[in-house]
Structure 1
Amino acid sequence: MAASAGQATPNRRVIAREIADAYGRAVTTVQQQWMTSDLWPPVVGKRGRWHEYDFADVDAVVREHFLRDHQVGGNPDDLLTIAEISEYTGLAPATVRADISRGRIKRDPDDYADGVKRWKRSTIEAAMKGRRKYSRPPESATPTDIEIGVRITVPAAVFDNYQPLVGQLVELLGSFSERLREEGGSLEITTAGQDPS
């Protein structure tokens, strides 16, 4: 966590940009991944166009669900296989392999004895620094509805150029909405500024 997070007081109200700075993340990560989670704390106020959140509530959710925890300890020179890296970091074995192929974990293992690739614990520790945590539902969780979000922003100065396309999109989504409702789903179309139809 970045040093600025330590400066926050428990009753401090923060906006997305300040949350991003506090945890060393991009504002888009905070807005598009963290704040869209059902676990995110409620809005407590507004500052300009930004929603404000209580820092203590935000910090509790971020630490619990978005910062990756992994085991600490062990000898930095211990050699770990992909399965052991998975257990040590909490990452799925497929994610470990993907991180290796993408270079997030160095591609060349620290040891290749007997045809088994092994990386030093210190190598894995270095790769894990700053890695964000993804929250997984508990094993017993029941399937839930899937929410899909799309946001289209058209500058007001050129809206007239796009209005026919926006109208077509709204018409298409309207028929899609009818099908969804028949199957127990829903579709909400909102606009700000001008009428899309």
Structure 2
Amino acid sequence: MILELAVIYTTRLDACRDFYRGIGLDLATERHGNGPEHYAAALADGGVLELYPATGRPETGYLRLGLTAPPNGAGFLPSGRHTLTDPDGRTVVLTVADAPEGRSRPAGTTPAAAKGGAGGPVPPEGRTGVTYTEIAEHYGMSARYLSENPRWGRHPGWPPAIGRRGRTIEFDSAAIARFFGEHHTREATPLEPSRRYTVVEIAEASGLQPDSIRSDISRGRWPAPDEMNGDRKLWRGETITAHLAGRRIYRSKPK
């Protein structure tokens, strides 16, 4: 027996889309007839995972998903088994396979998080440009998401192609770095080092969306809270300032 289709109905469609894209699912926008716009990703065994807005149907409740990603196929997550929580609280057990012995990530595609966010993707030896795949791996997203998203590859300011590599177009690495610096760097409000901040307060100060922060927390990409006040997680300003300094799309205001 083969699982052909799994559908999740959610009231937080955008947050769930970002979460599942972030762990490597290549979600594409779809719409069938007069039905609602939704997202679908084809799985390696031929099955499909879909995310639908919970409008005409009730929201999907507790669910435990088990997924396996290829080496370097789940954003910044290392190989091994990871128990995550999606924005609606569903458990996702993600196993990231080990890279074959002797193989490593292609030159110039180390994620920006590992580089401290500096610079653009480096072209492979013998090439002058970088492809969507190399850009996507450098910045930690899927190539399809990068190329089709109006904030990225379909943005009016996206650099023009400089050539081709077979059927794949190439872009100037320096131009890509400038694009990310100009369009995906935000000014952050300075945080008081010793003050304790909630998720909502961090979002207001940093420009991040609360759902994005919660998603990062569930995926292990956010520092542990400095203290708890009942059920509320609290972080010191100095903790958050240090964390945001390493994110590729945020910087502190000039002194």
TM-score (norm 1): 0.45
More strand by share: 2
More helix by share: 1
Which structure: larger Rg? 1
